[in-house]
Structure 1
Amino acid sequence: MILKRTAMLIMAVVMSFAAMFTVTPGQPNVQASSQYEKLEKSINAILADVSKKSVVSSVTVRKASTGEVIYEANADGKVTPASTLKLLTSAAALETLGEEYRFTTDLLTDGSIAKGVLNGNLYLRGQGDPTLLKKDLDQFAATLSKQGVKTITGDLIGDDSWFDSVRLSPGIDKSDETFYYAAQISGLTLSPNSDYDAGTVIVNASPTKKGYKAKVTMTPDTGIVTVINKSNTVPKGSKNTLSIKRQHGTNTIVIAGNVPIGSVGKKEWVSVSNPTAYTMDVFKKSLSAKGIKFTKSSKVVRRVVPQNATVITSRQSMPLKSLMKPFMKLSNNTHAEILAKTMGKQVYGEGSWNAGLKVMDEFAQSVGLRSTEWNFEDASGMSHKNKATSAQMTELLFAARQAPWYGSFVQGLPVSGINDRFVGGTLKNRLTGSAVKGKVVAKTGSLNHVNSLAGYATTKDGETLIFSILTQGQKTTALPAIDRIATIIATTTK
């Protein structure tokens, strides 16, 4: 963990400068350093307006150089952080696993190869790698082919025992389960492309001829999914009403609605039920493409690799420091939950949410944060039961700057107004004005009736300020108000 001396410094700074304030509807009770009176008045005006709409807010701004609080409003009020909780997850993962941590996927057998026949079982064992792609499975198949394998007499077995069998965190609602942001978590999973939305398949529906069903393709192609196509191609200029959803508790994807001629149709990243079976199905197709067949008695099953199995080949993911970009820039929920379970496995030998969240809590305490000010039942921020305070969020961001992995941490954060999605991320279309473009580096968060933003801003004077803006209870989005506050912070002068 980060040196105790750093944690003591953080606590000393906090005790010297922090105080508690509460926002009440109509009149925020706030305080700011006298050097930042303009910032104070401007933010107060925005908070006064949103509080009239019964929005609960918690806002804190600190100096990055010392941790001194220069503005706070309801700083210790607990608010749902949404995806800004990933700041804690990523920091804990970098500290616990290390910047160079890589996920490993192994291909193994308990048999032997003779005259083109693998006499035994073939195993694929995962560690939850969210970056595993079909091309990697193709490479595994190619390795076998180069060894002369044409036939496998045993079973094709997936080992996902690195994690427990709980696939969804408590905060996932039934209505969310079809979508990529609520994909199931498995020790053996597959991503359809380099966005690394593990546990999903890309379904594309495009127009054909008037009166005919849409053409449907899947990436990667998999037989684990059944498609029911109820779509209809309609004349050019008609409204596109296509919907692509997986039926709850099944691997049946229903495509319904109208798709106009001349339109691009619709593309959805749809989560699959049972990512392990999905991965093994795609792998079997990779083997078949290389001319490798199984005997009639062979089955595709899920089982733990025996101790006498030998590794044929392995694949390692990119290091964790590189995963920070797709994880944090694109706010990937699956990555967050995989990292939580991985931390649990690393520290307690248990790839579960209970173990992983315990590690996150212990990390938070090790850097001087107060566990009583945080409540979380997942690592992605999907649950509305998650709670944090802006004061604690900014303390975390201050502590991160003292850590040896800070470079990896901050390079993963979205950058305001930068159109490149692997730079701007979820901020690429926000804070685009010349005065703030590229000046705010922060994590976004959004749920129903919840919006948040927390990170770092470079002011006109070249000073770095740490901020956290948490809101909940709004009937309409609070993003405009949040972006105005972020703009005030980034354009402030002493």
Structure 2
Amino acid sequence: MHEQDEAAAPAGIEPAGGAVSNPEPRAGGVAGLVRRHPTAWSIAAGALVFALLGTGALFAGSAAGSPGPAPVAVSTPSAAAPVAHRPAPSAIPAASKLRSCSVAELAADSRLASFQAQVVSAASGEVLFDRGGAIPSRAASVLKVLTSAAALSVLGPGYRATTTVVKGVEPGSVVLVGGGDITLSRTPSGDESVYAGAAHLDDLAGQVRAAWNADPSNPPLTALILDASLFGGDEWQPSWNRKELSDGYMPPITALQTDGDRDNPYKNTSARSDDPIGRAGGAFAEALGGGVSVQRGTAPAGAAQLGAVSSQPVSTLIQQSLIVSDNAIAEMLARLVAVKLGTGNSFDALQTAIIGGLQPYGIDTSGIVVADGSGLSDDNAVPPSYLTRFFIKVNAREGDLGIIFDGLPIAGETGSLSYSDRFTGDSSVADGSVFAKTGWIDTGYTLAGIVHAQDGTVLTFAVYALGDVSDDAKTAIDAITAGFYRCGDNLSNN
């Protein structure tokens, strides 16, 4: 039976089975009804009180402006009790990923000496691993990446450095004008030097002879003047160790030279001379057929041009420089950037020029110091954090930066990361998956670039091993880079 059925039996109806025994006398009016049916009236009275209380609470809630349901009971039904508003919950922060793949043991390798590094997720920009990543330090040849980026933004990928020959002031004289092309070759045309596709002196000499002989009024060719004035200041950066010349890694920086001034134009590492301008002039005089005097000077303004040859475009020069870490091309590009921007034509102009060339990429250049274009100087400084941010753009091939990506050595496959002492042993797991620029100077080894990790994550990274280091620092750098490859997005900063 339902509760409402029990409570609603009508008054005066006898229970089934017989009459009511000893009935109480009936009272008249409401009082009589209450005495005759006390249970029903108690229930009715309770319901009335409940309704009155609820109505009072409703009015109280309405008076207070409460948007929610009214309280069931109040201490004083006739008084409007204030209702406290519950504060809205604050936003719950997103949980950060708990990463558990540690490279701490690899980072503690003593061969890394003074160790700095940063690793970033290329997709999210999140820093996954950091050890002194904001500290500007010498980056060695990794600096060539910044020089290349500045050349792309200032010169453009299609720019070519042009060497010309014009008539001299004196009858019978011509002027060989260096255009900053250090790849110009003295090897015979069709015979490739270390710089594939380079312009050749014999081609230029052939143009000059043809143009000279085409004018019957010209006297015999008797004098060659060498103009290298496009570049100025010191030819050797004061902080460079002079042994780099004899060891075959760096020439004096002049606007006129051939084959990066190598003794052997077919070898990347070959001793350089103290006089690249003189060597280039001698080779050109010989290509002209000999019998001419050679001296230094400058071209007269407005002189008639007799011939011209041009370098490979900047896009090709960058890749030739990065793949084997060619110092001469990097210095050539840096100096041409300075000349184009009008900051000067010496080493002193490079700080302003390279930083200016990096501005279009929109990354904070604070702390970057540029003493040269190649990274050979200990005075250069680049924070690893700049490189990780920059390589995100390289990986995305923003603008012309795909040219840099395509010039990066690949672990175990190309360039300076394919040598027999790179990514060996356990580190070979990352072969084909690390695209990075190597760096080596007497006081440090560096590596920076892009990792296509084992789990499919793309990482950008920079690793510096600085100070009292030996050649085995490369092995330690490769090992921790392979660690980044294995960890991927699970890389822990602990």
TM superposition score normalised by structure 2 = 0.70
Question: C-alpha deviations, 1:45-104, integer Å up to 9, x for none?
Answer: 112233xx7821111111112322121122223332111111111111111111111110
Moved more, 428-437 or 334-343: 428-437
**1:273 matched residue in structure 2:** 274
**2:166 matched residue in structure 1:** 108
Separation in structure 2 between the aligned mates of residue 190 and residue 178 of structure 1, nearest angstrom: 17
Question: Of residues 234, 245, 265 in structure 2, which corresponds to 1:177?
Answer: 245
Separation in structure 1 between the aligned mates of residue 468 and residue 418 of structure 2, nearest angstrom: 21
SS at match of 1:107: strand
Question: C-alpha deviations, 1:126-161, integer Å up to 9, x for none?
Answer: 111022011311112223444574973442011111
Question: C-alpha deviations, 1:263-312, integer Å up to 9, x for none?
Answer: xxx99611111211110101111112xxx644xxxx31111111241111
**1:84 matched residue in structure 2:** 142
**1:63 matched residue in structure 2:** 121
The alignment's C-alpha RMSD in Å is 2.6
Q: 2:231 touches 2:345 (CA, 8 Å); kept in 1?
A: yes
Alignment of 1:33-48 (within 5 A): 34=97, 36-38=99-101, 41=102, 43-48=103-108
SS at match of 1:169: coil
**2:411 matched residue in structure 1:** 416
Residues 58 and 89 of structure 1, relative CA distance in 2, 3 Å threshold:
same
- Structure 2, unaligned runs of 5 or more: 1-95, 189-199
SS at match of 1:284: helix
Q: 2:319 touches 2:404 (CA, 8 Å); kept in 1?
A: no
Alignment of 1:91-490 (within 5 A): 91-110=149-168, 119-134=171-186, 135=188, 136-147=200-211, 149=213, 152-191=220-259, 198-202=260-264, 269-288=270-289, 293-294=291-292, 299-348=293-342, 350-400=344-394, 401=396, 403-418=398-413, 423-429=414-420, 430-431=422-423, 435-476=429-470, 477-490=472-485
Separation in structure 2 between the aligned mates of residue 127 and residue 99 of structure 1, nearest angstrom: 17
SS at match of 2:487: coil
Q: How many residues align?
A: 373
Runs of 4 or more consecutive aligned structure 1 residues displaced over 6 Å after TM superposition: none
Q: 1:340 touches 1:357 (CA, 8 Å); kept in 2?
A: no
Residues 385 and 307 of structure 1, relative CA distance in 2, 3 Å threshold:
closer
Moved more, 463-472 or 152-161: 152-161
Q: 1:78 touches 1:389 (CA, 8 Å); kept in 2?
A: yes
Separation in structure 2 between the aligned mates of residue 489 and residue 351 of structure 1, nearest angstrom: 41
**2:49 matched residue in structure 1:** none
SS at match of 1:375: coil
Q: 1:163 touches 1:186 (CA, 8 Å); kept in 2?
A: yes
Q: Which amino acid aligns with 2:279?
A: Y
Separation in structure 1 between the aligned mates of residue 269 and residue 161 of structure 2, nearest angstrom: 27
Q: Which amino acid aligns with 2:322?
A: M
Q: 1:343 touches 1:351 (CA, 8 Å); kept in 2?
A: no
SS at match of 1:283: helix
Deviation at 1:314, TM superposition (A): 0.9
Deviation at 1:35, TM superposition (A): 5.2
Separation in structure 2 between the aligned mates of residue 456 and residue 82 of structure 1, nearest angstrom: 18
TM superposition score normalised by structure 1 = 0.70
Structure whose alpha-carbon radius of gyration is higher: 2
Deviation at 1:365, TM superposition (A): 4.6
SS at match of 2:120: strand
Separation in structure 2 between the aligned mates of residue 120 and residue 404 of structure 1, nearest angstrom: 48
Separation in structure 1 between the aligned mates of residue 254 and residue 403 of structure 2, nearest angstrom: 26
Residues 185 and 347 of structure 1, relative CA distance in 2, 3 Å threshold:
same
Q: Which amino acid aligns with 1:282?
A: A
Moved more, 152-161 or 269-278: 152-161
Q: 2:350 touches 2:371 (CA, 8 Å); kept in 1?
A: no
Normalized per residue, the structure richer in strand is 1
Q: 2:444 touches 2:469 (CA, 8 Å); kept in 1?
A: no
Q: 2:417 touches 2:423 (CA, 8 Å); kept in 1?
A: no
Normalized per residue, the structure richer in helix is 2
Q: 1:414 touches 1:428 (CA, 8 Å); kept in 2?
A: no
Residues 308 and 154 of structure 1, relative CA distance in 2, 3 Å threshold:
farther
Separation in structure 2 between the aligned mates of residue 414 and residue 108 of structure 1, nearest angstrom: 40
Residues 391 and 464 of structure 1, relative CA distance in 2, 3 Å threshold:
same
SS at match of 1:269: coil
Separation in structure 2 between the aligned mates of residue 130 and residue 201 of structure 1, nearest angstrom: 14
